[in-house]
Amino acid sequence: MKIREDRPFGFEYSKKFRLGELVEWSGWGYDESGLIIHNSHFGMILSMAPEEFNGREVMFATVHPVGQKQTKKFIVFVLRKRQVK
């Protein structure tokens, strides 16, 4: 893969998504007994835009997580399309 300096990092990957699309990301948490567990989270993409991150333009997505009031911002590479079953 060739890095293009004229576009933000993650630009090509961000073209996989559309505004309003349901996406999924993973995270870590604890269960009721205190054991570490792997969680999947879901939300809807509200916007995507490049932002400076560590001196470089990087594509970010603002997501509204299901069941939460606050939006979250993610580098687009941590998101994947949610497959509706």
- Write the CATH number for 43: 2.40.10
In-domain check, residue 71: yes
pTM over 0.85? The answer is no
Number of domains in the chain: 1
Q: Is residue 69 part of a domain?
A: yes
Is 2 a residue whose pLDDT tops 70?
Answer: no
For the chain, percent of residues with pLDDT exceeding 90: 81
Q: How confident is the model at residue 61 (pLDDT cuts 50, 70, 90)?
A: very high
Q: What is the pLDDT of residues 18-51, one digit of tens each?
A: 999 999 999 999 999 999 999 999 999 999 999 9
Query: What pLDDT score does 82 carry?
Result: 81
Cα angle for residues 70, 16, 5 (degrees, 5° grid): 95
- Give domain status of residue 1, yes or no: no
